[in-house]
């Protein structure tokens, strides 16, 4: 990939400037948009590789912009929000955002999120060229056609729900999935009791795939938000 092009949507000049300077010194190209209307225009005309999206904009709500962009584009969107409430992040993720950063954030955090997103992007682009039937990530391998999952050479003995879960996470590798999204996909509903069950299934799944469940390598927990499989 050439230098990735990042679209920075942010109305606060100081924050926009900080992000732009960081991108410039770390081998990224960038465009900026100070409001929602400019963001949509930039997204259409320059087709960025990644979008950094502030949720609180003067004209259009960031979540509505995400919904709009998602009607034609799958470009990864990282939400940047001063609002630390989980509801906003969750709404943005359910609208199609991939990840989030909460203000104030450090330069290191920003760069780490961009790296995670780029890994996902590279994976998606390379898997488009090859067969999609087999998923590999580190030691983990899933054969979607045979319906089997492996860790190294060993077949994993997963329950049907655990298998559904690992498939869902792997098909969205790199993306934060909300509790609501996961429970809807797995059980077709999103009750609080499903979220509690999800926690239990996730714990048993982790015991089977993680070397150390207290510092998981594959599945990251986002407290109050959801889970993500990381691309190793």
The contact set with Ca ion (CB under 5 A) reads 11, 54, 56
Q: How far is CA 201 from CA 144, 157, 182, 207, in A?
A: 20, 13, 12, 10
Element containing residue 54 per DSSP (H, E): strand 50-54
> Given the complex with Ca ion, which of 11 and 86 has the nearer CB atom?
11
Q: Which residue is nearest to Ca ion (CB)?
A: 56
Among the listed residues 20, 25, 28, the one whose alpha carbon sits nearest the alpha carbon of residue 1 = 28
> Given the complex with Ca ion, which of 7 and 205 has the nearer CB atom?
7
Beta-bridge partners for 1: none
> Given the complex with Ca ion, which of 56 and 216 has the nearer CB atom?
56
**Minimum distance from CB of 56 to Ca ion (Å)?**
4
DSSP three-state, residue 7: strand
**Minimum distance from CB of 12 to Ca ion (Å)?**
5
**Minimum distance from CB of 166 to Ca ion (Å)?**
37
By residue count, the chain amounts to 232
**Minimum distance from CB of 28 to Ca ion (Å)?**
21
Contacts of 134 (CB under 8 A, 6+ apart): 141, 142, 143, 144
**Minimum distance from CB of 13 to Ca ion (Å)?**
10
> Given the complex with Ca ion, which of 12 and 94 has the nearer CB atom?
12
Q: How far is CA 143 from CA 13, 125, 128, 140, 154, in A?
A: 48, 19, 16, 10, 13
> Given the complex with Ca ion, which of 65 and 219 has the nearer CB atom?
65
User: CA-to-CA distance for 2 and 30, rounded, in angstroms?
Assistant: 13
Task: Note whether 61 and 37 are within 8 A (CB).
Answer: no
> Given the complex with Ca ion, which of 37 and 210 has the nearer CB atom?
37
**Minimum distance from CB of 11 to Ca ion (Å)?**
5
């Amino acid at each position: 990939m050439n230098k990735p092009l990042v679209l920075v949507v942010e109305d606060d000049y100081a924050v926009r400037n900080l992000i732009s300077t960081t991108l410039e010194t770390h081998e990224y190209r960038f465009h900026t948009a100070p409001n929602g209307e400019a963001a949509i225009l930039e997204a259409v005309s320059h087709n960025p590789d990644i979008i950094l999206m502030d949720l609180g904009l003067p004209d259009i709500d960031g979540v509505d912009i995400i919904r709009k962009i998602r009607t034609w584009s799958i470009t990864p969107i990282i939400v940047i929000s001063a609002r630390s409430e989980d509801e906003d992040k969750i709404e943005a993720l359910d609208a199609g955002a991939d990840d989030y950063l909460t203000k104030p954030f450090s330069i290191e955090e920003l760069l780490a999120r961009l790296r995670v997103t780029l890994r996902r992007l590279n994976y998606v682009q390379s898997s488009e060229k090859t067969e999609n039937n087999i998923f590999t990530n580190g030691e983990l391998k899933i054969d979607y056609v045979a319906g089997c999952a492996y860790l190294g050479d060993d077949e994993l003995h997963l329950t049907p729900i655990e298998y559904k879960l690992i498939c869902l996470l792997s098909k969205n590798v790199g993306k934060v999935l909300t509790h609501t999204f996961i429970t809807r996909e797995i059980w077709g509903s999103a009750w609080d009791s499903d979220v509690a069950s999800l926690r239990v299934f996730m714990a048993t799944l982790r015991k089977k795939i993680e070397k150390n469940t207290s510092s998981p390598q594959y599945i990251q927990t986002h407290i109050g938000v959801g889970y993500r499989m990381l691309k190793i």
